[in-house]
């Protein structure tokens, strides 16, 4: 496994593979790796010839400076995990390498960035769009691998890829979960033992809501039931619990299973503060 720090090093190392018509897979991360990330790596290894994992805590996607400061950084441990997975390259740039000057470019993803996460994290998806486009230009992957847990991020990047004609295939991998259902996240390590138990309300509520919807219950009745469930849980503050179309993130108030043209057309999305840790999750229907 080789560690690359600069754009020039990436170009020098990867050009030979492209000339040999070998495919390059990219797994973009912000580090603090867990089994969910490693699952993305395994998919990349199965589907491409050369795997590059990027580790970069992108400052432009944090609307809260305190959140950026608290974001876990475990580079030594991350590199050990990636070496065990026999990753070919790790792109580990400094902020100055990715942003030699402040970025003046801004993305506007329309309604897609103003709902759900966008409503609570203004500017977040502009930062995501800028850094992912930089990574695509630097690494030029044939396939890029993302987790379904970040459903809105996936939708944002898919729109960027389509609108700007990036020559990259997005591979979306189902959410990796702990045995009790909690979605794997780098933020989970910040939960106290008590909050770790409280955090299960996210997945439990998603499963309950899906069951109720598929049983024919009206969405607003289901939503009220879930809101009441959160209100009874001390130390947990619900930000949103919404039913959406999976690809467009359009908020909807009902589903018609009999008219679905494709599987998993709808998803339920949620975000909540558990103690002082903000967690997100979603479940396809």
Alpha helix (H) residue ranges in 20-115: 35-47, 65-70, 75-84, 95-98
The sign one gets for the Cα dihedral 95, 97, 101, 106 is negative
Residue 55 confidence (pLDDT): 98
Q: Which residues of the chain have pLDDT under 50?
A: none
Per-residue pLDDT, 87: 98
| Interatomic CA distance for residues 203 and 70, integer angstroms | 24
CB count within 10 Å of CB 42 equals: 16
DSSP 220: H
Token pair, residue 6, equals 């600069």
Domains and CATH numbers, the chain: 2-173 (3.40.50.620), 186-284 (3.30.1300.10)
Q: Which of 137, 149, 170 is nearest to 282 (CA)?
A: 149
Q: Is 234 annotated as a binding residue?
A: no
Q: In sequence order, what DSSP letters do the residues of 84-124 get, joined into one string?
A: HTT-SEEE---HHHH-SS--------GGGGTSTHHHHSTTH
Beta bridge partners of 242: 269
Q: What does the pLDDT read at residue 268?
A: 98
pLDDT of residue 282: 98
pLDDT at 122: 83
Contact between 124 and 277 under an 8 Å Cβ cutoff? The reply is no
Angle among Cα 47, 48, 49 to the nearest 5 degrees reads: 140
Q: Quick: pLDDT tens for 44-55.
A: 999 999 999 999
Strand 277-284 and strand 266-274: the pairing is antiparallel
Return d(Cα 197, Cα 274) in angstroms, integer: 10
37 is in an annotated binding site: yes
Q: How far is CA 129 from CA 3, 91, 155, 233, in A?
A: 24, 18, 11, 35
Is 68 part of any known ligand binding site? no
The two tokens of residue 75 are: 């580079």
pLDDT at 97: 97
210 is in an annotated binding site: no
State the pTM of this model.
0.92
Q: What is the pLDDT of residues 252-271, one digit of tens each?
A: 999 876 655 555 699 999 99
How far is the CA of 226 from the CAs of 23, 75, 184, 220, 237, in angstroms? 45, 38, 22, 10, 12
User: Which residues carry out catalysis?
Assistant: 37
Residue 263 is predicted with a pLDDT of: 58
């Amino acid at each position: 496994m080789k560690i690359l720090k600069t754009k020039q090093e990436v170009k020098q190392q990867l050009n030979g593979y492209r000339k040999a018509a070998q495919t390059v897979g990219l797994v973009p991360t912000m580090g603090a790796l867990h089994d969910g990330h490693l699952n993305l790596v395994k998919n990349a290894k199965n589907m491409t010839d050369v795997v590059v994992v990027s580790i970069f805590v992108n400052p432009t996607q944090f609307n809260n400076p305190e959140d950026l400061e608290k974001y876990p950084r475990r580079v030594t441990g991350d590199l050990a995990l990636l070496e065990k997975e026999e990753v070919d390259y790790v792109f580990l740039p400094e902020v100055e390498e990715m942003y030699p000057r402040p970025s003046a470019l801004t993305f506007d993803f329309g309604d897609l960035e103003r709902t759900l996460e966008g409503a609570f994290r203004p500017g977040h998806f502009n930062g995501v769009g800028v850094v992912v486009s930089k990574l695509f230009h630097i690494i030029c992957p044939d396939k890029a691998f993302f987790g379904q847990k970040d459903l809105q991020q996936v939708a944002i990047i898919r729109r960027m890829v389509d609108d700007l004609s990036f020559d990259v295939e997005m591979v979306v991998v189902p959410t990796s979960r702990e045995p009790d259902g909690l979605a794997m996240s780098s933020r989970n390590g910040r939960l106290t033992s008590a909050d770790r138990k409280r955090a299960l309300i996210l997945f439990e509520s998603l499963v309950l809501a899906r069951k109720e919807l598929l049983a024919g219950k009206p969405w607003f009745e289901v939503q009220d039931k879930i809101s009441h469930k959160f209100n009874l849980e001390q130390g947990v503050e619900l930000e949103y619990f919404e039913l959406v179309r999976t690809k467009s993130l359009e908020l909807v108030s009902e589903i018609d299973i009999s008219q679905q043209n494709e599987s998993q057309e709808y998803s339920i999305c949620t975000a909540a503060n558990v103690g002082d840790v903000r967690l997100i999750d979603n479940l396809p229907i």
